[in-house]
Amino acid sequence: MTKLIDPFGREITYLRVSVTDRCNLRCIYCMPEEGVKLKSHSDILRIEELARIVNIASGLGITRVRLTGGETLVRQGILALVSLLSEIPGICDLSMSTNGVLLSKFATRLSQAGLNRVNVSLDTLKPERFKRITRHGKLESVLAGLEAAEGAGLSPIKINTVVMKGVNHDEIRDLAMLTKDHPWIVRFIEFMPFWNNGWKFGAGYVMPISEIRNEMIARGAYVINPNAGENNQRDQAGKGPANYIKFPEFKGSIGFISLRDHICSNCNRIRLTADGLLLPCLLSNISVDLRTPLRDGADDGFIAGLIRKAVSLKPENGEIAQVEVACSGGNPSLSKIGG
């Protein structure tokens, strides 16, 4: 099989696909309260176009696909897309990122359509704080979505928590305790520098993830070997951005993601935006347009060549030292690239 190898010897096997730039929440670290300027309907890739790109990418060695947004479940036709992607030879892991608000309505049908697992954003277990952080929505909807996903057999369920000092850092223990009785994976994510999320004015929000991890280890948690496959955690092949620990007798585990942990060195992913730009790096302005040639009648071989080109442009590192400067000059917002 053809492999996608970037200039630094990393094999690219993971494609993140943003299916929409729309969202039903306005999380404070993701977008401004008034939202962002949305693309027109004609700018957004159609379901068939998304499926075609993934099918071509699978022939180049992409084996894992995650659907993202905006909010993935507000995209019309999302069940049809999941069904199409689940039938593509070579795609062995099909997952979805969601804020969970609509998950209870979709979980069973997503599983039946062929989705393997979900990542759910959850930054607090306090209803009023949830409303302040997201500016919309109800906590109980997300909790119901998690239960529905577990009942539907979507596994493993990963809960992503952005830790913000002075906002939700006092709930770290309570969120970690979700792994006691459920086989869930709670991942604490360090507040990251993206345009419009307040980084320029809110460096005080940053709480080093290493502090949280070290404290939990001091309290009895143990490190999970990335190559052991414990708990069937699919991204523990040594290439995912998280590192994991587990408390004895707990059903689930706890992960930590920080840009300070040199997560770029093993990066195996590329990202497709909802309007058809292929991004070789989350923290770079580099992109390759797939939508225009796709709609101009390009054949699969030409599109495959563009995917290879994007991989050839992948930088060695996200250049963290330059991110704050870049953010003032037009880095895509987190809401548009799906994280």
Laid out side by side, the sheet with 117-121 consists of: 222-223, 243-246, 253-257, 185-190, 158-163, 117-121, 93-98, 64-68, 14-18, 269-272, 277-279, 288-289
Higher-confidence residue of 205 and 134: namely 134
Using alpha carbons, select from 157, 158, 106, 166 the residue that is nearest to residue 133.
166
72 located within any domain? yes
Mean pLDDT of 59-73: 97
In order of 123, 178, 186, the CA distances from 174 in angstroms are 11, 7, 11
314 located within any domain? yes
Res 13 pLDDT > 50: yes
Q: Is the dihedral of CA 233, 239, 240, 241 positive or negative?
A: positive
Domain count, the chain: 1
Mean pLDDT of 139-150: 98
pLDDT at 232: 43
Percentage of residues of the chain with pLDDT beyond 90? 70
Token pair of 131 as six digits: 């409303």
4 located within any domain? no
**Residue by residue, what is the 3-state secondary structure of 55-121?**
HHHHCCCCCEEEEECCCHHHCCCHHHHHHHHHCCCCCCEEEEEECCCCHHHHHHHHHHHCCCEEEEE
> Residue 109's domain spans which residues?
14-337
Of the candidate ranges 3-7, 82-86, 159-163, 240-244, the one whose mean pLDDT is the lowest: 240-244
pLDDT at 337: 55
Res 67 pLDDT > 50: yes
Res 52 pLDDT > 70: yes
CA distance 29 to 335: 9
1 located within any domain? no
pLDDT at 225: 66
pLDDT at 51: 98
Res 234 pLDDT > 70: no
pLDDT at 26: 82
3 located within any domain? no
* CATH code of 237's domain: 3.20.20.70
134 located within any domain? yes
Res 37 pLDDT > 60: yes
Mean pLDDT of 216-228: 82
**What is the average pLDDT value for the chain, to the nearest integer?**
87
Res 237 pLDDT > 50: no
180 located within any domain? yes
29 located within any domain? yes
Higher-confidence residue of 337 and 145: namely 145
pLDDT digits (tens, 9 = 90+) for 242-275: 889 999 999 999 999 987 766 788 899 999 999 9
